[in-house]
């Protein structure tokens, strides 16, 4: 009998409904830039992050006195403290704070996955530490890519492919879905130079237009982070233990 | 000014809504096996094919005396004349006939795309003849993969990537979407040996279980067909002219 657990890749939040029932761990990925920013925030001592799907909810929290980040289409929404640039989360004033975040794709994906048994945040930044930790869990794992406005995107898929490749290589995991096979192939062709590989990707070009090249370089350089953010009761915290 | 037309790839019928408005030609692809069977039918002299999305519609046509093919999950639906094996469409009794077809994925994709200005049928079988013809059209082109039960599949994506690769290389087309970039990469790594490349794909394994290895080999061997089926007034016919 094959006792291996499954690790699969879901390309967009829209397809999550075809996957959701079988996985005890869902890894939400939004490399450019929400989940990269979230990992960076925890690296820099943020206490917790409350992800909210809508700008309206974000405003409600702002009224209550929270520091609130809000991004849409790559830009900071007017009236908010910051967007989803990882560099915004390296600031001292955020240390030990509980902050709120709403982004175009990433927080929507977190919202869609919120009822999964365990929701974890993944990015290229915490690829290694996260993969190692996932390998120790005896659970079925789904990597949920946030995509770009409900469409497939390359950078999230490559990150998911990297997690999958690591887990399959442990011999304790298997995968079945064509999306997983494709993600693995794409990761293998990208891994030696993610920044170069993604030079033609649509979102990268979009961010480049917005003069966000530094963000791109940071988000697409793997393994600078040691944080594994996990969703508990609607709030992202740094992983302590898992059910 | 960039006068090149766009060629893009949509991975699943579910994502078609995010693409549909900008493309004058939609190429519907269901390599295993609906669109391969359709190309084969026209190679063998079938007059027209009426694609229907539901089994109920298929039964209505059967009552009216049509020869009707119906397939679900890889098997012929009980009570119908044939399923979607290309070999079923090589028979003499189908020559010059108008037939009806309902399949798990392919006819659903045709149904979703039916309001596009031009709907064309693509498969690995007609990859070359279709790509050459598309290259002569001065139109924006979307390759719509049928997927497998609303999820991404590898064989349709590779076929779409092949069309895209050909068109981009003419210098008259460009592409923007990450799904298109991914399809192209996957095609390039698969093209020398599609059958071997797809050995681990989920649908291939599914058909293998059903003893359909001959079908697989046939459908995954490019360029045996010279037919370009086109949808006109709800009916697939062999291409004569295009608006």
Helices (H), chain A: 34-43, 55-63, 106-113, 127-136, 154-169, 178-190, 194-197, 202-209, 213-219
Please report whether residue A197 resides in a domain. Answer: yes
Q: How confident is the model at residue A196 (pLDDT cuts 50, 70, 90)?
A: confident
Question: How far apart (Å, rounded) are the C-alpha atoms in residues A111 and A125?
Answer: 22
Residue A145, domain extent: 5-232
According to the model, what pLDDT value does residue B243 have?
39
The count of CB pairs under 8 A between chains A and B is 72
- Give the domain CATH number at B62: 3.90.1560.10
Residue B11 forms contact with A (CB below 8 Å)? yes
Q: How confident is the model at residue B207 (pLDDT cuts 50, 70, 90)?
A: confident
Question: How far apart (Å, rounded) are the C-alpha atoms in residues B103 and B66?
Answer: 16
According to the model, what pLDDT value does residue A241 have?
46
The per-residue pLDDT of chain A, averaged, comes to 93
Residue indicated by tokens 């003069």: A211
Contact yes or no for A182 and B15 at CB 8 A: no
Percent of chain B past pLDDT 90, that is, above it, reads 81
Residue A181 forms contact with B (CB below 8 Å)? yes
Question: How far apart (Å, rounded) are the C-alpha atoms in residues A90 and A215?
Answer: 12
According to the model, what pLDDT value does residue B240 have?
66
Please report whether residue B98 resides in a domain. Answer: yes
Q: How confident is the model at residue B20 (pLDDT cuts 50, 70, 90)?
A: confident
Q: Are strands B67-72 and B98-102 parallel, antiparallel or unpaired?
A: parallel
Residue indicated by tokens 């390759």: B143
Distance from A61 to chain B by nearest Cα, in Å? 32
Question: How far apart (Å, rounded) are the C-alpha atoms in residues A50 and A233?
Answer: 10
Question: How far apart (Å, rounded) are the C-alpha atoms in residues B241 and B243?
Answer: 7
According to the model, what pLDDT value does residue A243 have?
39
Contact yes or no for B177 and A152 at CB 8 A: yes
Nearest to B182 among A152, A176, A178 (CB): A152
The predicted model gives B171-190 an average pLDDT of: 95
- Residue A92 CB partners (closer than 8 Å, separation 6+): none
Nearest to A176 among B18, B154, B202 (CB): B202
Please report whether residue A240 resides in a domain. Answer: no
Percent of chain A past pLDDT 90, that is, above it, reads 81
No. of H helices and E strands in chain B? 9, 11
According to the model, what pLDDT value does residue B201 have?
75
The predicted model gives A72-87 an average pLDDT of: 92
According to the model, what pLDDT value does residue A242 have?
46
According to the model, what pLDDT value does residue A66 have?
96
**What does the pLDDT look like over B137-149, one tens digit per residue?**
999 999 999 998 8
The predicted model gives B228-242 an average pLDDT of: 87
- Return the SS3 of B125: coil
Please report whether residue B243 resides in a domain. Answer: no
Left (φ > 0), alpha (ψ -120 to 50) or beta: where does B36 sit?
alpha
- Return the SS3 of B243: coil
Please report whether residue A239 resides in a domain. Answer: no
Please report whether residue B28 resides in a domain. Answer: yes
Contact yes or no for B11 and A11 at CB 8 A: yes
- Return the SS3 of B73: coil
Distance from A200 to chain B by nearest Cα, in Å? 8
Cα atoms in the Cβ-side hemisphere of radius 13 Å centred on A141: 33
Question: Does the pLDDT value for residue A203 go beyond 80?
Answer: no
Nearest to A177 among B14, B178, B202 (CB): B202
| Optimal mutation site among A152, A185, A204, A209, interface B, most CBs of chain B within 10 A | A152
The number of distinct structural domains making up chain B is 1
Please report whether residue B95 resides in a domain. Answer: yes
Q: How confident is the model at residue B206 (pLDDT cuts 50, 70, 90)?
A: confident
List the B235-238 sheet strands across, edge first: B75-76, B67-72, B98-102, B48-51, B235-238, B229-232, B118-122, B25-29, B141-145, B5-10, B173-174
The predicted model gives B26-43 an average pLDDT of: 96
Which stretch of A21-35, A52-66, A190-204 has the lowest confidence by average pLDDT? A190-204
Please report whether residue A209 resides in a domain. Answer: yes
According to the model, what pLDDT value does residue B195 have?
85
């Amino acid at each position: 009998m094959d006792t291996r657990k499954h690790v699969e890749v879901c390309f967009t939040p829209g397809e999550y409904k075809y996957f959701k029932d079988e996985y005890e761990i869902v890894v939400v990925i939004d490399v450019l830039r929400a989940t990269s920013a979230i990992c960076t925030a925890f690296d820099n001592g943020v206490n917790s992050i409350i992800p909210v799907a809508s700008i309206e909810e974000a405003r409600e929290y702002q009224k209550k006195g929270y520091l609130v980040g809000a991004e849409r289409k790559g830009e900071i929404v007017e009236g908010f403290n910051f967007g989803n640039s990882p560099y915004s989360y390296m600031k001292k004033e955020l240390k030990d704070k509980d902050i709120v975040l709403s982004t175009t794709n990433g927080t929507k994906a977190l919202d869609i996955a919120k009822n999964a048994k365990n929701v974890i945040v993944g990015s290229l930044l915490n690829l290694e530490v996260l993969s190692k930790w996932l390998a120790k869990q005896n659970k079925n794992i789904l990597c949920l890519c946030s995509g770009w406005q409900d469409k497939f995107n390359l950078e999230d898929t490559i990150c998911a492919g990297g997690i999958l490749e690591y887990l399959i290589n442990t011999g304790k995991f298997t995968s079945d879905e064509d999306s997983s096979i494709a993600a693995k192939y794409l990761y293998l062709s990208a891994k030696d130079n993610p920044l170069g590989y993604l030079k033609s990707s649509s979102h990268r070009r979009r961010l480049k237009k917005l003069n966000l090249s530094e963000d791109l370089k940071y988000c697409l350089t793997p393994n600078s982070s040691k944080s594994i953010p996990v969703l508990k009761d609607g709030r992202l915290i740094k992983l302590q233990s898992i059910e």
